[in-house]
Amino acid sequence: MKTKKALFITTLLLAIIGCKNTTTPPSIAVKSCEKTILNYIKFRDNGPIKDYQALFTQDATFNIPKLNVSLSSNKQIADRAAQAMLSNKTIHMITSMHIEPNSMNTLSSTAHFILYMIDKKDKQKTTKIFNGRYVDSLLLDNGRCFIQTRKVLIDRMDTLGHIDL
């Protein structure tokens, strides 16, 4: 009987110690990552590009499978955004987001978005509308949340007649 009791207590202690070592980030980490995701749309639409680039880890990846886009550093990501901002005016909107802690310093996120895009040079062109999801792996470092990987899943692409953005 004592052996069973000792085994039970040992197992219980190991379980408690194991849980303690794999605690998830506090809710403050989730709030930090919410801010990063919201800042993404703010800086992507209006800049500055250096603030946009700072949202990503240095070795971040950014993929849009439907558009055959595959980038592998925060510099490539920022360069692509800067180039796009020269010719297009965009308005991004996040309609919902869910952030899930994975470990002490990693989280995953899915954020649903709508994007309106109009050509800056030819105002008579149609407005493009994209609906989809940002599926992210996020990294918490010194209380700041960074996008480590972003996969942009486009669920729908539409066009409207000209509208002023």
Determine contact, residues 149/60, Cβ cutoff 8 Å: yes
pLDDT confidence of residue 114: 96
pTM of the prediction? 0.80
> Which DSSP category does 125 fall into?
S
pLDDT means per 10 residues, the chain with 165 residues, are 51 44 62 96 96 98 97 98 95 95 92 94 85 97 95 92 61
